Amino acid sequence: MTVAKLFTRTTGTIGALLAVFALYMTSAQAEGDIMAGRKAAQKCEVCHGLDGVAVVVEAPNLSGQKETYLIKQLTSFKTGERQNEMMSVVAPTLTDKEIEDLAAYYAAVIIKVEKVPGQ
């Protein structure tokens, strides 16, 4: 019996789900260019800060977010699936490559926690 048959027989549905999940995670990896993202982030700086720490109350912090999450959110703003007054102006002007680059850049910003409340 081959390893693949043994794996399928012993794990059944769980094995299939794990295989699909692994394939999804591999395909979900972005190909963003961090340095190009830094340059593109100049468009975002007014609200989100160049370092991804928001400078206006209404804007979320972007630094340290997962790359795939940022791609999903920016794409949702671009397509109109997600609505926001400011992002509805900016996001449609972004190319798919710029979205990947921005996501790579903000995901690469290292967040350091200086103080945890209550400690």
DSSP structural state of residue 62? -
Block means of pLDDT (10 residues each) for the chain, 119 residues, are 47 43 45 95 96 95 96 98 95 97 97 86
- What pLDDT, on a 0 to 100 scale, did the predictor assign at position 5? 52
Q: Which domain holds residue 46?
A: 31-119
User: Which residue, 115, 118, 108, is CA-closest to 51?
Assistant: 108
Q: What is the pLDDT of residue 20?
A: 36
Looking at the chain, list the stretches that DSSP marks H as alpha helix, in order from N- to C-terminal side: 3-27, 34-40, 45-48, 67-79, 87-90, 96-108
Quick one: 59 and 111 in the same domain?
A: yes
pTM above 0.75, yes or no: no
pLDDT of residue 49: 95
**23 and 35 in a common domain:** no
pLDDT (0 to 100) of residue 8: 47
Q: Residue 104 corresponds to which amino acid?
A: A
Per the structure, the count of domains in the chain is 2
Residue 114 confidence (pLDDT): 87
Do 22 and 38 belong to one domain? no
Residues 109 and 95 in one domain: yes
Provide the pLDDT for residue 15: 45
Among candidates 96, 115, 117, 118, which has minimal Cα distance to 31?
96
Same structural domain, 97 and 108: yes
- Tokens 């209404």 — which residue? 58
pLDDT at 116: 86
